[in-house]
């Protein structure tokens, strides 16, 4: 699969876009997932534009399709992967039968996988390609307990700086690293560089309250509040991150400073202390990203389900549908019924494990065998429900790409 900047935007006309996907995939039986090649390409190039020339490290948890990762990384401007588990990172960094390997993989979260640590530590090639995330001395102790420094390759590590904001409104952001202050970052860096068997190569900070929080919701007052908090948080973080990077660089020659996310590419790439940004969700454009003021990703990935019964003439029931996303258990985590327009889930049943009854004006027109298109809330989690994606260009399925699941990989 090759990505080229598209010259048209068919997704801007839903009445043509979704029926065209249905026509292109008509020979396949739902449930299945599809990727619009032009929409994916649009999102990939739009993210490069928004990053203003700063390299983008692809967050693999938001994709979980090796073929898509390879296609995106082939574009100038994308470099390296931010993985979500060490076993995944080892798989990506290993040379496959066709000779492919991703040679720069940072694990975005600390690991306690002892078998994977041993594999990494005993392989010089993997140890040169994979970087582990740390935010405490305990994690260094765990690695030493698994395999002593004298018995292993030097382990590349990245220090995670907490990017949340403890401002006048309380804690804003997610609970990740305990390393928040410049002093804490410097102290941990000192402990890393003083220990045998470790090499400190990077700093990462993910500002979830900016990158992953929609700033143009239907509630306009909420939107104003979110944008105000994001502006204040971004200013505080830029100063604190710059000071932390300077303090750590005085102790170790860092190779990279990673920040950002799909929703904050513009802000983070403008920070002089940052050398690369991370993003992934914006490639597939799930419905969680429909309500940002400064960018609008194309709905590149979606899935189709079949109508299998009509409990009443005005209702239609899908087989399946309960592909609920992680996060707070509320309506925002439910798949979005996108086509035909005018469909609704029943409040007392919702998106079910094996069936999902639908109401709304369009439901009365649906018959058994008809297809309904849905969009998942979070990008990569859709890949955990299917073995492959149908890649559609125009009116044709041009190829099928296996997901991690389709390749027999279940990393988390």
- Domain holding 279: CATH number? 3.20.20.10
Distance CA 262, CA 197 (A): 34
Contact 245, 237 (CB under 8 A): no
Tokens for 307? 């109508």
Distance CA 291, CA 336 (A): 13
313-358: pLDDT as tens digits: 999 999 999 999 998 888 889 999 999 999 999 999 999 999 999 9
The total domain count for the chain is 1
Q: Is residue 386 part of a domain?
A: no
Domain that residue 94 falls in: 37-283
Model pLDDT, residue 227? 83
SS (H, E, C) 348-382: CCCCCCCEEEEECCCHHHCCCCCEEEEECCCCHHH
Compute the average pLDDT of residues 365-373: 97
Q: Is residue 212 part of a domain?
A: yes
CA nearest to 83, candidates 114, 52, 116, 61? 61
Length in residues, the chain: 412
277-296: pLDDT as tens digits: 999 999 999 999 998 888 89
Lowest-pLDDT range, 126-135, 174-183, 308-317?
174-183
For the chain, give the mean pLDDT. Answer: 94
Q: Is residue 66 part of a domain?
A: yes
Q: Is residue 51 part of a domain?
A: yes
What confidence category does residue 97 fall into, taking pLDDT thresholds of 50, 70 and 90? Answer: low
Q: Is residue 250 part of a domain?
A: yes
Q: Is residue 276 part of a domain?
A: yes
CA nearest to 278, candidates 254, 300, 255, 259? 259
Q: Which residue has the tokens 């020979």?
A: 27
Q: Is residue 263 part of a domain?
A: yes
Q: Does residue 212 register a pLDDT over 80?
A: no
Q: Which residue has the tokens 């590419």?
A: 265
Contact 380, 372 (CB under 8 A): no
Contact 300, 43 (CB under 8 A): yes
Q: Is residue 246 part of a domain?
A: yes
């Amino acid at each position: 699969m090759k990505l080229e900047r598209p010259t048209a935007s068919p997704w801007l006309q839903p009445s043509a876009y979704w029926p065209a996907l249905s026509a292109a995939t008509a020979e396949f039986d739902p449930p299945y997932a599809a990727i619009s090649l032009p929409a994916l390409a649009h999102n990939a190039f739009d993210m490069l534009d928004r990053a203003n020339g700063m390299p983008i490290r692809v967050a693999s948890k938001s994709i979980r399709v090796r073929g898509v990762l390879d296609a995106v990384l082939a574009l100038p401007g994308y470099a390296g992967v931010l993985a979500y588990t060490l076993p995944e990172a080892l798989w990506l960094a290993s040379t496959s039968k066709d000779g492919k390997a991703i040679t720069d993989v940072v694990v975005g979260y600390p690991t306690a996988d002892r078998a994977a640590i041993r594999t990494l530590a005993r392989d010089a090639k993997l140890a040169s390609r994979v970087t582990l995330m740390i935010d405490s001395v305990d994690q260094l102790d765990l690695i030493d307990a698994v395999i002593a420094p004298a018995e292993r390759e030097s382990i590349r590590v990245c220090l995670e700086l907490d990017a949340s904001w403890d401002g006048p409104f309380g804690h804003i952001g997610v609970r990740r690293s305990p390393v928040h202050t410049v002093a804490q970052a410097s102290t941990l860096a000192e402990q890393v560089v003083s220990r045998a068997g470790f090499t400190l190569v990077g700093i990462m900070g993910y500002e979830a309250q900016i990158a992953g929080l929609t700033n143009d919701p239907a509630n306009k007052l909420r939107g104003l509040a979110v944008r105000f908090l994001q502006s204040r948080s971004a200013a505080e973080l830029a100063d604190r991150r710059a000071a932390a990077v300077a303090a750590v660089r005085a102790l170790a020659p860092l190779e990279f400073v990673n920040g950002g996310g799909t929703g904050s590419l513009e802000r983070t790439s403008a920070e002089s202390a940052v050398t690369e940004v991370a993003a992934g969700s914006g490639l597939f454009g799930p419905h969680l990203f429909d309500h940002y003021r400064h960018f609008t990703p194309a709905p590149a990935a979606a899935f189709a389900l079949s109508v299998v019964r009509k409990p009443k003439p005005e209702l239609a029931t899908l087989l399946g549908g309960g592909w609920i996303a992680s996060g707070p258990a509320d309506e925002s985590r439910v798949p979005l019924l996108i086509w035909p327009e005018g469909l609704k889930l029943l409040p007392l049943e919702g998106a079910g494990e094996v069936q999902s009854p639908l109401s709304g004006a369009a439901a009365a027109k649906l018959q058994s065998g008809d297809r309904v298109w849905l969009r998942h809330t979070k990008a990569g989690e859709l890949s955990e429900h299917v073995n492959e994606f149908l890649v559609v260009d125009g009116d044709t399925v041009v190829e099928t790409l296996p997901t991690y699941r389709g390749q027999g990989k279940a990393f988390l």
